[in-house]
Chain A
Amino acid sequence: DTGVSQDPRHKITKRGQNVTFRCDPISEHNRLYWYRQTLGQGPEFLTYFQNEAQLEKSRLLSDRFSAERPKGSFSTLEIQRTEQGDSAMYLCAGQHTNTEAFFGQGTRLTVV
């Protein structure tokens, strides 16, 4: 158990709908990351939070994606107007400075 939990584990949605995922790291994780993983590929970086500040966003993160980390605790990732190409596993990772990242079990999104 890494201490990082994600909810939901699975989400099936219709194209055009909005979805929101949640990540709860442990309190020591001042850094929080979102990654996306498609079938047969390694995870790709989406965005990074240092406490509550979103400090970097990947070019993969289109305008339809938004992430927040209020008060530096849990984080949410919202996808608006979902497209079939958004189908993937969305992984959250928490990290304390100078340690390795600990990943949650991910949210598998299927857009039909």
Chain B
Amino acid sequence: AQKVTQAQTEISVVEKEDVTLDCVYETRDTTYYLFWYKQPPSGELVFLIRRNSFDEQNEISGRYSWNFQKSTSSFNFTITASQVVDSAVYFCALSEATSGTYKYIFGTGTRLKVLA
């Protein structure tokens, strides 16, 4: 069955520290997509990154980077030089191609607090 696990419930860091958010997923599909979204207190889910299952190349986009490893079913997300504005709840999500709907399965989220 499909599942997304975010074991870290809450993380607190001091501004300018790097922080990594963990995500482990389960799926039987060979074609799937993984996402990270940010949810600030306003409630809107803000898209951050997307990775498909057949592209394990890890990239850096500004202060964001990700580490996708199919061998361990992990899709970890790193914020470099964290800022107070990064404080939010971060969700990892899985979308399976065979579902037909491409609906998202979300983890329970990690609350990140960046202290000044």
Q: Which A residues are within 8 Å of any B CB, using their own CB?
A: 2, 31, 33, 35, 40-45, 48, 50, 55-56, 89, 91, 93, 95, 100-106, 108
Q: Which of B35, B43, B106 has the most CB of A within 10 A?
A: B43
Query: Which segment, of B59-67, B73-81, B96-104, faces chain A?
Result: B96-104
Q: Which B residues are within 8 Å of any A CB, using their own CB?
A: 4, 35, 37, 42-47, 50, 91, 93, 100-109
| Contact A108 B43, beta carbon cutoff 8 Å | yes
One of A40, A50, A55, A108 near B108 (C-beta < 8 A): A40
One of B35, B37, B42, B101 near A55 (C-beta < 8 A): B101
| Contact A104 B101, beta carbon cutoff 8 Å | no
Q: Which of B37, B42, B104, B109 has the most CB of A within 10 A?
A: B104
